[in-house]
Amino acid sequence: MPDAVVPRLRLSGIIKAYPSVVANDGIDLDVLPGEIHAVLGENGAGKSTLMKIIYGVIKPDAGTIQWNGKPVSVANPARARKLGIGMVFQHFSLFETLTVAENIALALDPGRTGSDLPARIRQVSEKYGLPLDPDRHVHSMSVGERQRVEIVRCLLQDPQLLIMDEPTSVLTPQAVEKLFETLRRLAAEGCSILYISHKLDEIRALCHRATVLRGGQVTGECDPRHESAAALARMMIGGDLPHPRHREAKVAGDGALVVAHLTLPADDPFGTSLHDVNLAVRAGEIVGIAGVSGNGQKELMAALSGECPQGDRGAVVINGTPAGRLDAAQRRALGLAFVPEERLGRGAVPEMSLAENALLTAYRQGLVAHGFVRAEAVRDYAAATIAEYKVKAGGPGAAARSLSGGNLQKYIVGREIRQRPKVLIAAQPTWGVDVGAAAQIRQALLDLRDAGVAVLVVSEELDELFEICDRLAVIAQGRLSEPLPTAGTNAAQIGMLMSGSFIAPGAHSERQFSPAGAIDAD
Amino acid sequence: MRIRLEPRPEPSRLAGWLSPLAAAAATLVVGFLLFSALGKNPWQAFHVFFVKPVATLYGLGELLLKAGPLMLCAVGLAAGYRANVWNIGAEGQLTMGAIFGGGVALAFHDSTSPLVLPAMIVAGALGGMAWAAVPAFLRTRFNANEILVSLMLVYVATYTLSLLVHGPWRDPEGFNFPQSKLFNDVALLPNLLPETRLNRGFLLALAAIAAGWVFMSKSLVGYQMRVAGLAPAAANYAGISATRTVWFGMLAGGACAGLAGVNEIAGPLGQLQPSVSPGYGFAAIIVAFVGRLHPLGILFASLLMSLLYLGGESAQMGLALPSAVTGLFQGALLFFLLASDVFINYRLRVLRSPRSPSASGRSPLPRAGR
Amino acid sequence: MDHIAELLVLTLAAGTPLVFAALGELVTEKSGVLNLGVEGMMLVGAVAAFAVAATTRNPWLGVAAGMLAGAALSLVFAVITLSLMANQVASGLALSLFGVGLSAFVGLPYVSIVIDGLKPLSISGLSDLPLVGKLLFGHNPLVYLSFLLFVAIQWFLYRTRPGLVVRAVGESPQSAHAIGYPVVRIRYLAVLFGGACSGLGGAYLAVAYTPLWVEGMTAGRGWIALALVVFATWKPWRVLAGAYLFGGVTLAQFQAQALGVEMPSQVLSMLPYLATIVVLALISRDAITIRLNAPASLGKPFHPGS
């Protein structure tokens, strides 16, 4: 690209520091008009902070921003929108009980919302291949559809720069392709795109240029189409991507965890009902469940872990004992362990120390006597877990919330595994976790399976599932597909299953309540 | 120069200890200003309010006498508050405890058995528990907010007591005053400190404090209730029954408040009257908070609150100030506590200039990449 | 027939303090803030209104003072919970206790004072029409104000953009913040509005309904108003319906005696509180409706940094 082209966006020396960490440490970034520019980095590298600075949600401590060659100060998101910057958040900023039109209206300047807004929504959304009905309530929409609302909301403001923060974690492989088409079209029309991701293959397929962040600093800049995944990974994590050590699966028995005809209506009106889920996880194997978020994973996990014990006694069988009505503590007594999706607030109590958090699920490991807590035993258990799993923390007395995501996840995984379960269920085990810890956790799961434990992993990262699972199933609209041996399938086939191709026509899912129902706009 | 509130990476334990003291100090300052504003000599008012009431042995006895029911109620309430079970109806549960205990006393009015008093105490605890069972049941079965239900029941309990002492339980030889017969000696708590009104009920309060401390800091159930209060999803994950937590929290508060009620009628009152408590059940809420929901803290906070009660009475006589000033101080104390509690999780930062990098002049911070 | 009209007028009058307090709290809760201090704010409003009305001999000035007093007390709550991030439940309780104590203290000199309060309208000619006369033209001026308030709130919340923003903030303050709305400022305004309305409800009691001041004269109406908002599933017209229902129950005490029903007065006095409990239990058990209509962020503190 000739140097005479004025960059659409130029960041110089951006610094943002928090009490315990410097999130952005002198970052320079150029985005040219019509360019799809990736910001690549693992979790915790500072990508989200940088995007929030560009969008005016956060103010930098130092550094300048130039927009189309002129210095600007982005004081708040409204100002960013006026400049022509749009942002599609990773965790959507939508209002569930409001309609699509109301959601979009809230993000537009009052001057641009007229009675013609619904028509404009229809027009723009069709034009870019993301059709939307303006009068639908957001809560009745799937996650992929909600992302469309976020995108159309930005498009209605004629953006010159579109920031997309990890957009593909909620999409099937086919939907990802569709999104890429839309983005390429926007870029061809002159809109610049900042694409934040840690997925190397996607970046190599889509982006013109990439800036790599590590530890809050820029560690590399390149054209990802001409770099190998390994080279990008090296820039991203400063080393090579770790590969887990595999052994052949030694499966035993019919099923340490058996799910039979599990049907559960969702008790949350915004949730997903489960329909006739069947699955057997045998000792010595890892079974994975793939799926786009919002298709019943949360409900399935709660039903298996005992947090939501309803339904048939025999719907969930642990080591031969019908456990459908048992609560989480009783299922633990049968040999079940569970690593939940949310670390803080569910897997651990944020304000409590690591030692106190050990007591949360490991109390049967000699930590309690006659109803009283044995403080020394608790500390020892926590210390041993910290040591064995190389958790970087200030000791057993450190508060759970003072740990990084990766370290806390290692601690929780360690706490569960050290209880010597017969069945381990892990939901999104490496979400938001740095690469080193993620590798460690995956290895721990493999080692567990080699030791003869039945492991069930639910994840939205297909790569991870292909890496560690022996068999793979897909959950879509509350239904589970037949598990397939991992070696005999590929991402494309799984992607087809994720969009519900295995569900018999006519057996469509109903949301727990109908959109015409209990909410009145009143 | 800008002042900003910024979250601390870890909660400050020092602030946790200092906060109640800061709140107490702030309340005293307010008192000082209030007395001045009312045209009284503030130092003299201070003396009358805070020092004179406890200057004699009798005064000390009164201090402990009033602290007892506060301690009892607050310990029970704190057990629930830690678990996010908001029992606001201690006053009503106290009243019910008095009714049940008083009922036993009146039923055995002619008896001289030493079992009467223990029976009254048990009945009082049961009465308080029964009254607390209603909001517990409605919350666990109907998801009804226990704050509102327990509070509504305070009014119902008060009217019930009024009905009883105006009607079926009125002393026929009482000159038509709405009060029950005076309890005979076996139904009264024996004296603990001669020359004062302090009775053995105070020992019950101390026992509750001790039991509360053991329970909260050492028992598994106490730990589990703390988890339920801090992170309900984690409690569910751990298999801690939310239903059991609510029942336990409410019943603990009800039992303790019921005991406090019996203490009042078997102690200083010696009978049932239309009002058996000067708002102990509500003051105990404040005591629980100021005491940081911790039995030892509650012990000290009860003494402070008791002093405020005595001060109010003393001010009424010695300063011609209305006794309503007590309620004012109590509310102010709670407010200041909530305000100073902020500093446990946040700290003040004074920024020297609006945009200078805050990393300048400070020790190097760890880089990102945890 | 006239007796029925009379009864309806009395019912509306009895329900009006609840209308003011509950509608105000509804707006506050729509923005996601749970303010349990309604009882305290009502009492403070009552005592302020009465004191000013007695001193200036102008009941309308008293009403204005009541609104200001309620708003001022709610400001303290707002600072503690919105700026200092304290627990909303504990702070609301503190507000109630403080308001009760403060109003008792301030109101002492006014206990046996009599004032010329606001009387129900009496327009010659119109008010004397049979049946319709009293029903349409015989209310207290503040009762008419409460009708206006209902209409205004209904229109504001569901037909204006600022109202949409308030609802959005209550639904998801994080999303509203990400889009760039000043969540804290909006909540401040909602809390102040609720405080002013609660103060207005108290002022109505002390200056119009029973023109006198007695310590604790709201007798728990603030708490009933809180229950009403839940009972109404956060819909303004249901607040109105519920408030008048409770007004009717409150009247039962007097009507029962008139009808010759033999019941101890204490039992009749208990009725509003027992009714509140029953109503609360019945409506709360429908978890789905609650989930759909309750502002999703109600009672949860909002941290802009997260």
CATH number at residue C254: 1.10.3470
**Rounded mean pLDDT, B327-347:** 84
pLDDT band at A447 (very low <50, low <70, confident <90, very high): very high
pLDDT band at A506 (very low <50, low <70, confident <90, very high): low
pLDDT band at C306 (very low <50, low <70, confident <90, very high): very low
CB A471 within 8 A of CB A503: no
Percent of chain C with pLDDT over 70: 95
Can you tell me the distance from the alpha carbon of C134 to that of C117, in angstroms, rounded to the nearest whole number?
19
Most confident of A465-469, B112-116, C196-200: C196-200
Mean pLDDT of chain B: 87
Angle between helices C38-56 and C88-106 (to 10 degrees): 30
Topology annotation, domain B2-351? ABC transporter involved in vitamin B12 uptake, BtuC (1.10.3470)
Give the pLDDT score at C25. 97
Which of A23-37, A162-176, A284-298 is predicted least confidently?
A: A162-176
Number of other CB atoms surrounding residue A499 within 10 Å: 18
Q: Say if C306 falls within a structural domain.
A: no
Q: Do A522 and C174 touch (CB under 8 A)?
A: no
Is pLDDT larger for residue B48 or for residue A3?
A: B48
Q: Do A214 and B366 touch (CB under 8 A)?
A: no
Nearest by CB to A102, from C164, C176, C178: name it. C164
CB contacts < 8 A, A to C, total 69
Residues on chain C touching B148 (C-beta within 8 angstroms):
223, 226-227, 230, 276-277, 280
Number of other CB atoms surrounding residue A506 within 10 Å: 5
Q: Say if C14 falls within a structural domain.
A: yes
pLDDT greater than 50 at residue C114? yes
**Rounded mean pLDDT, A273-279:** 92
Can you tell me the distance from the alpha carbon of B168 to that of B24, in angstroms, rounded to the nearest whole number?
45
Is pLDDT larger for residue A128 or for residue A512?
A: A128
Instruction: Give partners of C (≥3 CB pairs < 8 A).
Output: A, B
Select from C262, C284, C290, C302 the residue whose CB has the most chain B CBs within 10 Å, as the one to mutate to test that interface.
C284
Q: Do A372 and B240 touch (CB under 8 A)?
A: no
Is pLDDT larger for residue A512 or for residue A71?
A: A71
- ipTM above 0.85 for this complex: yes
Is pLDDT larger for residue B145 or for residue A436?
A: B145
pLDDT tens per residue across span A300-312: 999 999 888 777 8
Can you tell me the distance from the alpha carbon of C187 to that of A192, in angstroms, rounded to the nearest whole number?
36
A 63-102 residues inside an 8 A Cβ radius of C: 76-78, 81, 89, 92-98, 102
Query: What sign does the dihedral A85-A86-A87-A93 (CA atoms) show?
Result: positive
Residues of C in CB contact (< 8 Å) with A are: 158, 161, 164-165, 167-168, 171-172, 174-181, 235, 237, 287-289, 291-293, 296
Number of other CB atoms surrounding residue A111 within 10 Å: 6
- How far is A145 from chain B, CA to nearest CA, in Å? 28
Percent of chain C with pLDDT over 90: 57
Q: Which of B337, B224, B238 is nearest to B287 (CA)?
A: B337
Select from A373, A416, A435 the residue whose CB has the most chain B CBs within 10 Å, as the one to mutate to test that interface.
A373
pLDDT greater than 90 at residue A286? yes
Give the pLDDT score at C256. 74
Give the pLDDT score at A512. 37
CA distances from residue A207 to A88, A491, C203 in whole angstroms, order as listed:
17, 21, 66
Can you tell me the distance from the alpha carbon of B359 to that of B346, in angstroms, rounded to the nearest whole number?
19
Give the pLDDT score at B367. 41
Beta-bridged to residue A336, according to DSSP, are A423
Q: Where are the domains of chain B?
A: 2-351
Give the pLDDT score at C206. 94
Give the pLDDT score at B353. 56
Give the pLDDT score at B296. 93
**Rounded mean pLDDT, A458-480:** 91
CB contacts < 8 A, A to B, total 121
The identity of residue A315, as a single letter, is A
A 39-68 residues inside an 8 A Cβ radius of C: 56-57
A 248-277 residues inside an 8 A Cβ radius of C: 267-270
Give the pLDDT score at B1. 58
pLDDT greater than 70 at residue A95? yes
Give the pLDDT score at A359. 94
pLDDT tens per residue across span A156-173: 888 999 999 888 877 877
Residue where the block lists tokens 């807590």:
A373
Nearest by CB to B221, from A360, A371, A399: name it. A371
pLDDT tens per residue across span B305-327: 999 889 888 887 777 777 677 87
Nearest by CB to A349, from B8, B234, B366: name it. B234
pLDDT tens per residue across span A109-148: 777 667 788 999 999 988 888 889 999 999 888 888 888 8
Residue C268: which domain range? 2-293
Which of A242-251, B19-28, C72-81 is predicted least confidently?
A: A242-251
Pairing of strands A336-339, A321-322: unpaired
Rg of the Cα atoms in chain C: 19
Instruction: Give partners of A (≥3 CB pairs < 8 A).
Output: B, C
The identity of residue A443, as a single letter, is Q
Residues on chain C touching A57 (C-beta within 8 angstroms):
177-178, 180
3-class secondary-structure state, position C272: helix
Pairing of strands A368-369, A321-322: unpaired
Which of A169-178, A290-299, C38-47, C87-96 is predicted least confidently?
A: A169-178
Using the Cβ of B145 and the Cβ atoms of chain C, whether some distance falls under 8 Å is answered with yes
CB-based burial of residue C62 (10 Å sphere; 0-12 exposed, 13-18 middle, 19+ buried)?
A: buried
Can you tell me the distance from the alpha carbon of A44 to that of B273, in angstroms, rounded to the nearest whole number?
66
Which of A3-12, A203-212, B241-250, B314-323 is predicted least confidently?
A: B314-323
pLDDT band at B172 (very low <50, low <70, confident <90, very high): confident
pLDDT band at A383 (very low <50, low <70, confident <90, very high): very high
Give the pLDDT score at C289. 84
Is pLDDT larger for residue C133 or for residue A50?
A: A50
Can you tell me the distance from the alpha carbon of A72 to that of A92, in angstroms, rounded to the nearest whole number?
27
The identity of residue B288, as a single letter, is A
Percent of chain B with pLDDT over 90: 52
pLDDT band at A401 (very low <50, low <70, confident <90, very high): confident
Q: Which of B279, B259, B283, B277 is nearest to B208 (CA)?
A: B259
Beta-bridged to residue A210, according to DSSP, are A38, A222
Residues on chain B touching A46 (C-beta within 8 angstroms):
368
Is pLDDT larger for residue A412 or for residue A490?
A: A412
Can you tell me the distance from the alpha carbon of A433 to that of A447, in angstroms, rounded to the nearest whole number?
19
Using the Cβ of B336 and the Cβ atoms of chain C, whether some distance falls under 8 Å is answered with no
**Rounded mean pLDDT, A301-326:** 88
Which of A508-522, B87-101, C195-209 is predicted least confidently?
A: A508-522
Using the Cβ of A61 and the Cβ atoms of chain B, whether some distance falls under 8 Å is answered with yes
Give the pLDDT score at C131. 67
pLDDT greater than 60 at residue A415? yes
Can you tell me the distance from the alpha carbon of B75 to that of B287, in angstroms, rounded to the nearest whole number?
9
Q: Say if C147 falls within a structural domain.
A: yes
pLDDT band at B9 (very low <50, low <70, confident <90, very high): low
Nearest by CB to C287, from B138, B143, B346: name it. B143
CB A403 within 8 A of CB A352: no
Which DSSP letter does residue A482 get?
P
Report how many domains make up chain C.
1
Q: Say if C298 falls within a structural domain.
A: no
pLDDT band at B171 (very low <50, low <70, confident <90, very high): confident
pLDDT greater than 60 at residue B362? no
Using the Cβ of A351 and the Cβ atoms of chain B, whether some distance falls under 8 Å is answered with yes
Is pLDDT larger for residue C146 or for residue B46?
A: C146
Q: Which of B90, B87, B97 is nearest to B161 (CA)?
A: B97
